[in-house]
Amino acid sequence: MSHIRYPFPAPDRFPFSGPEAKGILLALAATLIWSVNFIICRGIADTVPPVCLSFLRWFTGFVCLLPFTLVSVVRQRRHFIQYWRYYVIIGLVCVSLVNTLIYIAAHTVAALNLSLIAASSPLFVLILSRVFYHEPIVPRRMAGIAVVLAGICLLITRGDLGILLQLDFQQGDLVMLAGAFFFALYTLIARRQPAGVGQFTALTVIFGIGVLFLLPPLVCEARQVPAIHFTLPVVGMLLYLGIGASILGFWFWGKAIALIGPARTAAIYYSIPLFCGLEAVLFLGEAIFWFHIVSGVLILGGLLAATMQGAAPFPYRANEH
């Protein structure tokens, strides 16, 4: 029995196993959480202005983490002092810039434009990974991303690809593009997180720094907008943004980056439109059409191709990237 040669790869040679499978699942969990975030933002945009929404989201996450991590933060203060540049940069990029730019753009940019521009973030990651980390952009990964982009375009245009020719990109689109770029930059920076401190402890410091950067624009915005009425639904949405989309989402994303790298993690970001479509059917009662099914197949198939690390069973090449 020990000499029988099977025509399939051994269990430990399957493309998704061990840390790799864990990294992919963590990235999918993050995108699932963030997809709900987009649903919530559509319902709260007219109630809470963009900078205030960003501030309340991250401040909520910071306050929820602090009771559990304060002792660890104090004990690890030398670590944070030593690597203060890293934490200041990632706090500014991840907390202060990314979502604030997205929330600002959402007030003036059509949803179709937002979806298309957000899909550019993983492409930025591929390019920046090549420039800074010399990661190869293999044809299989580019082909997978192209298939995913085709699925996203089909999904958000509801099967009428001619709509793409009618898009009118304006200043708000550039704001959204900047948000997508900074999210890609965060994904790369997160790969270089200094060792020696727990993830939740690090997130506490990152959230705190980002909230401090948001204070000046928050004061400016507060002088120009009316007071916010905090109803129970609004408070519930803010709690989800602070705990789910901020703490859990970024913790999952950071773990995934450490396990499978920024480029492959970023490719999984394309699953957000698919999750949003499913949630719209389940929670908003929207109907399912042919383009939902076709785009879902394209997105999942493209993700599979873009994230597999040498998946060909005949022959198996363990060192393929």
pLDDT truncated to tens, each residue of the chain (321 aa)?
444 443 434 444 445 557 888 998 999 999 889 888 777 776 677 788 889 999 999 999 999 999 999 999 999 999 999 999 999 999 999 889 988 888 887 776 655 556 566 666 777 777 788 787 777 777 877 787 788 778 777 766 767 767 666 666 667 777 877 888 888 888 888 878 888 888 899 999 999 999 999 999 999 998 888 878 888 888 998 999 999 998 999 899 888 988 888 878 877 877 777 787 677 677 656 666 777 678 777 877 776 677 665 433 323 233 333
Q: Look at the alpha carbons of 26, 31, 32, 36 in this order and tell me if their dihedral is positive or negative.
A: positive
Query: 320 in a domain, yes or no?
Result: no
Residue 7 lies in a domain: no
Residue with tokens 């004061």: 219
Query: Which pLDDT score, from 0 to 100, does residue 309 have?
Result: 56
Residue 140 lies in a domain: yes
The answer to whether 18 touches 238, Cβ cutoff 8 Å, is no
Distance between the two ends of the chain, CA-based, in angstroms?
33
pLDDT of residue 212: 96
What is the residue range of 104's domain? 17-307
Instruction: Tell me what pLDDT residue 318 has.
Output: 30
**What pLDDT score does 113 carry?**
57
Residue 253 corresponds to which tokens in the numbers above?
A: 């994303």
Q: What is the model's pLDDT at position 120?
A: 67
Task: Indicate whether 253 belongs to any domain.
Answer: yes
Domain membership flag for residue 312:
no
User: Quick check: is 5 in a domain?
Assistant: no
- Specify if 10 maps to a domain: no
Q: What is the reported pLDDT for 295?
A: 73
Tokens for 75? 């004990």
Q: How many domains does the chain have?
A: 1
Predicted local distance difference test score (pLDDT) of residue 316: 28
Question: What pTM does this model have?
Answer: 0.74
Output helix, strand, coil percentages for the chain, rounded to the nearest 5: 75, 0, 25
Among the listed residues 110, 127, 140, the one whose alpha carbon sits nearest the alpha carbon of residue 15: 140
Residue 171 covered by a domain = yes
Q: What confidence score (pLDDT) does residue 109 get?
A: 62
Residue 213: the pLDDT is 96
Burial category of 304 from C-beta neighbours within 10 Å (exposed 0-12, middle 13-18, buried 19 and up): middle
